[in-house]
Structure 1
Amino acid sequence: MRADDGTVGAATALLDAYRPGDTFFASPFRTLLARGVHARVPHGAAPLGDRVAQTLRAAREEGQAAPFVVGAVPFTSTEPVELAVPGTARWAPPLCQDPLIALPAQTPSGGPWRVRPVPEPAVYAESVGEAVRRVERGDLDKVVLARTLELSSPADLDTPAMVQRLARRDPRGYTFATPTGPGRTLLGASPELLVSRRGRHIVANPLAGSAQRSPDVAEDVRAAAALLESAKDLHEHAVVVQAVLEALDPLCSELSVPPQPTLVRTATMWHLSTTVAGELAVPDGHGRQPTSLELALALHPTPAVCGTPTGRARGLIGELEPFDRGFFTGVVGWADESGDGEWVVTIRCAEAEGRSLRLYAGAGVVSASVPESETEETAAKFRTFLDAVGAEL
């Protein structure tokens, strides 16, 4: 592994060097370009954390100086992961600190795009209505329902240009692109850190409760202010924060949570945000602290992407969503052999294969949800990727 220095252009050089088959991961703290595969984390019955640890130990014994794994974990825990120790890796400071990130990105080649929604918006709205009825009946408290857009082009996809557009539009977010199979790439720009670990220090940044942004400054400010006062969104957010606390509290000696959420903005959305910070407890005897990936698995899936109670929400998702989520609402990131790493929630994303893209977006459904409003929210979330490829609904 080779670390680049902090000179101007170091981070954007990694962005420019990305090619399909590589893994690119950019966060507010660092930029990574990984190339090739030294070893893959195998699928199996053993816990994923154990399989990752064994893969990293073997890589160290085989001469890797500082092995780490990078890639994606799907929404459903029983499906195979796409995690690997890369052949080579380059690190740089964050994109947001590189002045060259302000340079415009070219529009990706491809198009005109044919767009097919799955399900149709009216069908999705009906599913939201059914979910509201289930919540009102007391079957569950919340469920996150998603829909997809299938985009096809007569030309080959320009994946590097898409990654450029995503990264340059939201350089303070989390931009990623990683292979998920032969000829398939998962790429996106997530606003949500599931968890990071550096030594004993951990951070989680759950997001829940959203509002569409407006190009009109006054309207944009009104939307942000309304979100901060929305009883529905504040309740939805509080449920997610509570789930994060319940998962992390047994593992930590210290845990701090702000009393009220703040706002995070992307190019297209406002989100309610709470930053949870803590210190992992020192284990007794021969115990060990959980790795960043194990912390991510303890949190995944949060009510922000699944619902609550988790089992009932998963069941309703399987009943009402007419597609397999795959890696959407899973986690993507990296972890090293010491257990440090960063894992983000796989949203605002698409999967590219051949000349087609499948985009994903979801909305949290509670008793106060209005089907038309949730449908509009998913349309707004699609804008992140539609803008990156030059397509429209």
Structure 2
Amino acid sequence: MTLACPAIDGVELLSAYRPGLSSVFASPSGTLLAEGAEAEVSGGVHGMLPDQVEAMLTGAGPGARAVVGAIPFAPDAPARLVLPRLLRRGTAPPAGAAVPTARPAPARAGGAPPCDDDGYLEAVARAVRDIRAGRYTKVVLARALRLAAPGFDPAPVVRALAAGASGSYTFGIDVGGGQTLFGASPELLVARRGRYAVAHPLAGSAPRSTDPAEDAHRAAALLSSAKDRHEHAFVSEAVADGLRPFCRALRVPVEPTLTATPTMWHLGSRITGEITDPDVSALRLATALHPTPAVCGSPPGAARRAIAELEPFDRGFYAGMVGWCDAAGDGEWAVTIRCATAGPEGLRVYAGAGIVTGSDPHAELTETTAKLGTMLAALGPADRALTTRGA
């Protein structure tokens, strides 16, 4: 029987996280530590996944049980959602919290031969040509960086990210096969609390600067950028359209606002609404929205085909969603970005950028390099040249 413990200090839960034995999800609203597995669901996102999860949770008291896990980018790829034997809930980790940790061993280049920057530049250039030819209106192209790290323990990175990425959704999820998915996403796909739903899509980005004056200039430039506002509109409108069948009194901001992470500025829109049917769970809302144009493109079918043609790797859980849903239907699902996977074969770090008609290949390369920097800084790789290479 799954147990729900009284809320405790989120720092204590992060300290108790053990990759392979537990999963953790920390957000501005709280921290969950899932230990062991009583049951598991692994269907595709566009199949019967919500029905399977709701059936598994049937009979549990409101909030007493929850599934925790991750769902991949591809709709037919198996998810990894677990009903834990022990579910512990805690407070949100405060920014700058002193979480007991040890510095992870430095990662180094390894695995498959790296692709040079020219490969990504050409992929972006081709996407821009396709967009101008009318094949699609937006596509998100990602890079994956492979690092060798024998015996790497992601727990210290997860704890450091939770302490340093205020407002983000930090996670360390056992996805099976000895693999751990971990990171700190700035983007909330959707959350449900009682009768209310909230989504905070992000699209349109700029690297931050360590110089305060330059950083402020970059933020202002992003907010006024026609290209980035155009890109953001795709995502905001798609999320609103996805929520509309489930919500009344849907509130969609007319103008985006700035969202900051340690390495990036983003354009964001906080979309809220009241759920019409109380039986619609957070997971059902999330699967209805996934994937948004923020990680795929528009129209989604054509964008998926372009991603398959232009990206030289399988995304796996990158650009999927990660989070939890309880027996009452409440839950939180973040878009799986600013993340990495760790396993017997080493580490793989991911980052992507939205390509639209006004995209410049070199600017998109710079953007993905800055996004990779979030995880590379946490991992502490010895080879800093890795920040400009993909594999």
Category of TM-score, reference length = shorter chain: over 0.9
Equivalent in the alignment of 1:51: 52
Equivalent in the alignment of 1:80: 78
1:20·1:160 contact (CA, 8 Å) conserved in 2? yes
Pairwise CA distance, 1:47 = 1.3
Change (3 A) 1:42 1:216: closer
1:118·1:148 contact (CA, 8 Å) conserved in 2? no
Pairwise CA distance, 1:119 = 3.7
| Paired letter, 1:296 | A
Distance 1:226 1:217 in 2: 14
Pairwise CA distance, 1:203 = 0.2
Pairwise CA distance, 1:5 = 4.2
1:116·1:149 contact (CA, 8 Å) conserved in 2? no
1:281-339, Cα deviation, whole Å (9 max, x unpaired): 1x4xxxx6321011001111111100000000001001111111111000000001121
Which of 352, 356, 362 pairs up with 2:352?
362
2:63·2:326 contact (CA, 8 Å) conserved in 1? no
2:185·2:335 contact (CA, 8 Å) conserved in 1? yes
1:240 lines up with 2:235 in the alignment: yes
Distance 1:199 1:152 in 2: 44
Change (3 A) 1:93 1:117: farther
Question: After alignment, is 370-379 or 45-54 more displaced?
Answer: 45-54
1:106·1:165 contact (CA, 8 Å) conserved in 2? no
| Paired letter, 1:75 | F
The alignment covers a number of residue pairs equal to: 379
| Paired letter, 1:188 | G
Equivalent in the alignment of 1:383: 373
1:144 lines up with 2:140 in the alignment: yes
Change (3 A) 1:326 1:86: same
1:145·1:317 contact (CA, 8 Å) conserved in 2? yes
Equivalent in the alignment of 1:293: 283
Pairwise CA distance, 1:355 = 5.5
1:121 lines up with 2:117 in the alignment: yes
| Paired letter, 1:89 | L
Question: After alignment, is 381-390 or 352-361 more displaced?
Answer: 352-361
1:40·1:83 contact (CA, 8 Å) conserved in 2? yes
Pairwise CA distance, 1:110 = 3.7
Secondary structure at the aligned position of 2:34 is classed as strand
1:55-88, Cα deviation, whole Å (9 max, x unpaired): 2237x4xx99922111001101111110010010
Equivalent in the alignment of 1:315: 305
Change (3 A) 1:42 1:302: closer
1:210·1:269 contact (CA, 8 Å) conserved in 2? yes
Secondary structure at the aligned position of 1:96 is classed as coil
Structure 1 unmatched runs, 5+: none
Pairwise CA distance, 1:116 = 6.5
1:361-383, Cα deviation, whole Å (9 max, x unpaired): 10000110011110111000001
| Paired letter, 2:129 | R
1:53·1:337 contact (CA, 8 Å) conserved in 2? yes
1:19 lines up with 2:18 in the alignment: yes
- Give % identity: 50
Distance 2:113 2:65 in 1: 41
1:119·1:147 contact (CA, 8 Å) conserved in 2? no
Pairwise CA distance, 1:108 = 1.2
| Paired letter, 1:92 | G
2:62·2:328 contact (CA, 8 Å) conserved in 1? no
Equivalent in the alignment of 1:350: 340
1:104·1:168 contact (CA, 8 Å) conserved in 2? no
Pairwise CA distance, 1:183 = 0.9
Pairwise CA distance, 1:3 = 3.4
2:256·2:269 contact (CA, 8 Å) conserved in 1? yes
1:101·1:171 contact (CA, 8 Å) conserved in 2? no
Equivalent in the alignment of 1:38: 38
Distance 2:244 2:352 in 1: 28
1:361·1:382 contact (CA, 8 Å) conserved in 2? yes
Equivalent in the alignment of 2:199: 204
| Paired letter, 2:4 | R
1:337 lines up with 2:327 in the alignment: yes
Pairwise CA distance, 1:248 = 1.0
Pairwise CA distance, 1:165 = 2.0
Question: After alignment, is 42-51 or 74-83 more displaced?
Answer: 42-51
What TM-score does the superposition give when structure 2 sets the normalisation length?
A: 0.92
Pairwise CA distance, 1:102 = 4.9
Distance 2:139 2:114 in 1: 18
Distance 2:101 2:264 in 1: 21
Change (3 A) 1:263 1:71: same
What TM-score does the superposition give when structure 1 sets the normalisation length?
A: 0.92
2:73·2:320 contact (CA, 8 Å) conserved in 1? yes
Distance 1:160 1:31 in 2: 15
Pairwise CA distance, 1:48 = 0.9
Equivalent in the alignment of 2:226: 231
Equivalent in the alignment of 1:93: 91
Secondary structure at the aligned position of 2:94 is classed as helix
Equivalent in the alignment of 1:371: 361
